[in-house]
Amino acid sequence: MAASSNSSLSGSSVSSDAEEYQPPIWKSYLYQLQQEAPRPKRIICPGEVENRPKYYGREFHGIISREQADELLGGVEGAYILRESQRQPGCYTLALRFGNQTLNYRLFYDGKHFVGEKRFESIHDLVTDGLITLYIETKASEYISKMTTNPIYEHIGYATLLREKVSRRLSRSKNEARKASVTSEEHPTVEKISSLVRRAALTHNDNHFNYEKTHNFKVHTFRGPHWCEYCANFMWGLIAQGVRCSDCGLNVHKQCSKHVPNDCQPDLKRIKKVYCCDLTTLVKAHNAQRPMVVDICIREIEARGLKSEGLYRVSGFTEHIEDVKMAFDRDGEKVDISANLYPDINIITGALKLYFRDLPIPVITYDTYSKFIEAAKISSADERLEAVHEVLMLLPPAHYETLRYLMIHLKKVTMNEKDNFMNAENLGIVFGPTLMRPPEDSMLTTLHDMRYQKLIVQILIENEDVLF
């Protein structure tokens, strides 16, 4: 998390917030160490070197021994050269002086330079980052190992004064969890209210549905100084200093990410689309029980389509279904799927089925798939029903709620069977492969399991009042 932000808010409400807001105490020790780290010193080769790779500069000294490299570095902290290995021609080594010794690293290039996981545009950046890491890990190894023992994440007292105010703002708009920033006349730097404050406010918001959700952390390069929002320590290095949750924006050290609770509160600004978005992520971002697609489509189908012959079995035009998909991605809850725009109800049923098929994790999750299949194989009807109920309890809450709501709807469809000719078995054929997919992408497994998929959905529809 950045120590300061370039954005600001104006108005009386902001100034009152600023008076009460107490920013967290970011720990500066690791930042100070980064400032103290040795600077890279390139040792230039005085003459032209034959067969020098085009992606290396004059720091390349050709084929020389370790002893020669050590002599060239001259004991200067941070000094470095590149050399070609005597033993393995075509292999290149970075010789770097640190801690009164010469360190040798096998050097690689694939469009970017690297010796480990991190990839750099230039050798200079690679060496700068390496010296920072070596220096900090040498000076503060014990400190780093204890960083996660007293995290600010679990004791966000500085957020308490803002919880009620932020919560009121959130409840006024369920469509968007707003981030705020405050400014103080005494302090020209603008402190952004972190995702920690946002998390606290959402946690205490009565309208919020508390589905557990893991953070979607991805390695991130932060521009400018950033501090970890879990341990409050500086995130050191030039690139890939930590990880950021792509759903809520939480910034933490990679090692701290393993300790962060499963309490991601997705930010609508980060959710780019409705289709193909993780189900739990979508409902938490919209502060809803179920995905809006499910609610809106089912509402439309029940209003004008329950008696339509072949409901869910008959397909609508693919291009019109894609239009509905794009409309949801573009307009969200304001989407218009009325009969004025889409008179054919099969377009709406097709859009709903497509939503389920596009989920990265199916409604019936990969983790529970095999257990449902095994339950379907039980010969005793009573025991089978009990086994299905037990597996249902293993579904993530948002998945369970979505499945429950869909089964209530499909039960209504079967109650109009004399008009639409769709019973629970027919709907099982349609929705089996739509709601559940095997973890391994195997056509053989899919074909083998189809009858069990159909049976599971049929059981869920016929017994929705008992199972849910």
Element (H, E) at 130: helix 123-139
* CB crowding 41-53: b at 16 or more within 10 Å, else e: bebebeeebeebe
Q: Do 333 and 462 belong together in one domain?
A: yes
Whether 104 and 67 have beta carbons less than 8 Å apart is answered as no
Q: In a 3-state reduction of DSSP, which class is residue 280?
A: helix
Let me know if residue 24 belongs to a domain. Answer: no
CA atoms within 13 A on the CB side of 296: 21
Domain with 381, as residue range(s), is 274-467
Q: Do 304 and 224 belong together in one domain?
A: no
Whether 97 and 75 have beta carbons less than 8 Å apart is answered as yes
Quote the CA–CA distance of 263 and 266 in Å, as a whole number: 9
Element (H, E) at 95: strand 92-98
| CB-neighbour burial class of residue 309 (10 A; exposed 0-12, middle 13-18, buried 19+) | exposed
Domain closes at, from 88, 114, 146: 146
Domain closes at, from 130, 146, 162: 146
Token reading at 224? 């400018």
Q: In a 3-state reduction of DSSP, which class is residue 32?
A: helix
Q: Do 258 and 288 belong together in one domain?
A: no
pLDDT of residue 252: 93
Residue 207, CA distances (Å) to 13, 172, 396 in order: 23, 10, 19
Give the number of domains in the chain.
3
Query: Locate tokens 């067969």: which residue?
Result: 51
- Computed on alpha carbons and rounded to an integer, the radius of gyration of the chain in Å comes to 29
Let me know if residue 279 belongs to a domain. Answer: yes
Residue 67, CA distances (Å) to 64, 82, 89, 94, 101 in order: 8, 13, 17, 13, 12
Token reading at 51? 């067969």
Residue 2's beta-bridge partner residues? 226
Whether 297 and 290 have beta carbons less than 8 Å apart is answered as no
Let me know if residue 388 belongs to a domain. Answer: yes
Let me know if residue 81 belongs to a domain. Answer: yes
Length of the chain as a residue count: 468
Q: Do 137 and 281 belong together in one domain?
A: no
Q: What is the DSSP string of 391-411?
A: HHTTS-HHHHHHHHHHHHHHH
pLDDT of residue 129: 96
Q: Which pTM value belongs to this model?
A: 0.62
CATH of the domain at 247: 3.30.60.20
| CB-neighbour burial class of residue 134 (10 A; exposed 0-12, middle 13-18, buried 19+) | middle
Q: Do 280 and 429 belong together in one domain?
A: yes
Domain closes at, from 109, 127, 146: 146
Q: Do 265 and 282 belong together in one domain?
A: no
Sheet of strand 217-220, all strands in order from the earlier edge strand to the far edge: 217-220, 242-245, 251-252
Q: Do 299 and 323 belong together in one domain?
A: yes
Whether 202 and 177 have beta carbons less than 8 Å apart is answered as yes
Token reading at 181? 């920033």
Q: How many CB atoms lie within 10 A of CB 171?
A: 14
Let me know if residue 186 belongs to a domain. Answer: no
Q: Any alpha helices (H) in 397-463, and if so which ranges?
A: 397-414, 417-420, 424-435, 443-462
Q: Do 245 and 129 belong together in one domain?
A: no
pLDDT of residue 266: 86
Q: Do 383 and 418 belong together in one domain?
A: yes
AA identity, residue 388: V
Q: Do 351 and 450 belong together in one domain?
A: yes
Residue 204, CA distances (Å) to 95, 118, 174, 272, 460 in order: 54, 39, 14, 26, 34
**Residues in the chain with pLDDT values less than 50:** 1-23, 156-194, 197-208
AA identity, residue 222: F
CA atoms within 13 A on the CB side of 35: 7
Q: What is the DSSP string of 42-82?
A: E---SS--TT--TT--TTEEEE--HHHHHHHHTT-TTEEEE
Q: Do 287 and 243 belong together in one domain?
A: no
**CA nearest neighbour of 163 among 211, 203, 192:** 203
Quote the CA–CA distance of 410 and 349 in Å, as a whole number: 12
Let me know if residue 25 belongs to a domain. Answer: no
CATH of the domain at 76: 3.30.505.10
Let me know if residue 73 belongs to a domain. Answer: yes
pLDDT of residue 262: 86
pLDDT of residue 209: 58
Residues 6+ apart with CB under 8 A from 304: 339, 345
The angle subtended at Cα 422 by Cα 389 and Cα 449, nearest 5°, is: 50
Whether 337 and 344 have beta carbons less than 8 Å apart is answered as no
CATH of the domain at 385: 1.10.555.10
Q: Do 387 and 454 belong together in one domain?
A: yes
Let me know if residue 167 belongs to a domain. Answer: no
